Amino acid sequence: MNKLLSIAATAVRELLYERVFYILLAFAVVGVVFSNALGELTYADQAKLSLDFMLAGTQMSLVLFSIFVGVGLFQRELTSGSVAMILSKPLSRATFLLGKFLGQMTVQALVVVALCLLTIFMWSLGQGMSANLVWSIIQAFYLCYLESVVLAAVTYALATFSGSMTTGACALSFFFLGHYRKTFDLTLTGGSVWGIAEKLLPNLELFNVKTLATYAFLVPPVEVFWLTVYAAVCATLFLLMGIVIFRERDIPT
């Protein structure tokens, strides 16, 4: 347990030294601020649109964050060779993988909280706030976070057996497939392969409540609870898959 935390803590520190972290953070902050400015210029309905836009920006940067930080944090350590000395210590490969993941999730949670506060703050300056709206924004951010946890788990699972480009590309397509499965279903004329794939892919669209939030609609707490369980189960399954592959594979560095 101590080893897990020590790897997680080092991963957090490593992230704070990463340039990609600040680039994505800046991207998200600029997105929030700009889309707010956009909202101020327009009529009420379009203001709702701009909140939608803000949430979409946050979601996108979290997605990129999960994937690229996951590649940088976990996979780069495998390819650069620093993993050799770590794994030569009495430490299981599972601990290493989970430690890194835990570290990333911690930083990601902090980023989500910061962006959420920033959004609420910016919004209340421009448009005024109702308690309902605050809660629905918080919900939307929370669900974004759940989605990013699932995506990061997918990234880690992919990174255990493929290179950084493949991992990044596959994780991204995973994100799009997870969201637009219905659209794809139409275009691909519902072949049986797709039918199976659809059952296996987590439905990421479930986490998408951006439009609801813009109308200050609240998702019932029970549903949020089940979504949390769903995300936890998906992430656990992918992490388990990653651990099994990672334990079996050769580490050539």
Partner 1 sequence: MTEIEFIGVTKEFASGLWRKKTAVNDVSFGIEAGAVVGILGANGSGKSTSIKMMLGFLKPTRGEIRIGGKGPYDFHTRKMIGYLPENPRFQKFLKAGEVLRYYGGLAEMKGAELSARIDSLLELVGLKHAQRERVAGFSKGMIQRLAIAQSLLHSPPVLIFDEPMSGLDPLGRREIRHLIQEIKKQMPVTILFSSHILSDVELLCQSVLLLKAGRLTRQCSVSELLSGEPDQYRLVAKDVGESFRKRFGEKTQQLPEPDHVAFDLTGAEELALVLAELQHSGGVVVSLTSLRRSLEDSLFLDRRSSTEKGAELL
Among positions 12, 56, 86, 109, the unique one binding partner 1 when judged by CB under 8 A: 86
Min separation Cβ 97 and partner 1, Å: 14
Please identify which residue in 42, 46, 80, 124 interacts with partner 1, judged by CB under 8 A: 80
The nearest distance, CB 26 to partner 1, in angstroms, is: 20
Shortest distance, position 119 Cβ to partner 1, whole Å: 30
Nearer to partner 1, 10 or 127 (CB): 10
Under the criterion CB under 8 A, does residue 82 sit at the interface with partner 1? Answer: yes
**By the rule CB under 8 A, 89 interacts with partner 1:** yes
163 binds partner 1 (CB under 8 A): no
Kindly state the smallest distance separating residue 84's Cβ from partner 1, in Å. Answer: 4
State yes or no: residue 244 binds partner 1 (CB under 8 A): no
According to the binding rule CB under 8 A, does residue 245 interact with partner 1?
A: no
Q: Is 43 exposed, middle or buried (0-12, 13-18, 19+ CB in 10 A)?
A: exposed
Looking up tokens 């490593």, which residue turns up? 14
Would you list the DSSP string of the chain?
Answer: -HHHHHHHHHHHHHHHT-HHHHHHHHHHHHHHHHHHHHHHHS-HHHHHHHHHHHHHHHHHHHHHIIIIIHIIIIIHHHHHSHHHHHHTSS--HHHHHHHHHHHHHHHHHHHHHHHHHHHHHHHHHHT---HHHHHHHHHHHHHHHHHHHHHHHHHHHHHTTS-HHHHHHHHHHHHHHHHSHHHHHHHTTT-HHHHHHHHHS--GGGG--HHHHHTTPPPPHHHHHHHHHHHHHHHHHHHHHHHHHHHHS----
Using the rule CB under 8 A, give the single segment among 83-91, 170-178, 186-194, 201-209 that binds partner 1: 83-91
Q: Is 253 in the site for partner 1 (CB under 8 A)?
A: yes
Is 91 a residue that touches partner 1 (CB under 8 A)? yes
Which one, of 163, 18, 10, 2, lies nearest residue 100 by Cα? Answer: 10
What is the spatial distance between Cα 202 and Cα 78, in angstroms, rounded to a whole number? 27
Binding mask 14-43 for partner 1 (x = CB under 8 A): x--x--------------------------
Q: How far apart are CB 87 and partner 1 at their closest, in Å?
A: 7
Position among 47, 61, 77, 140 found at the interface with partner 1 (CB under 8 A): 77
125 touches partner 1 (CB under 8 A): no
Q: Does 1 bind partner 1 (CB under 8 A)?
A: no
Binding positions for partner 1, rule: CB under 8 A: 2-3, 6-7, 10, 13-14, 17, 77, 80-82, 84-92, 250-253
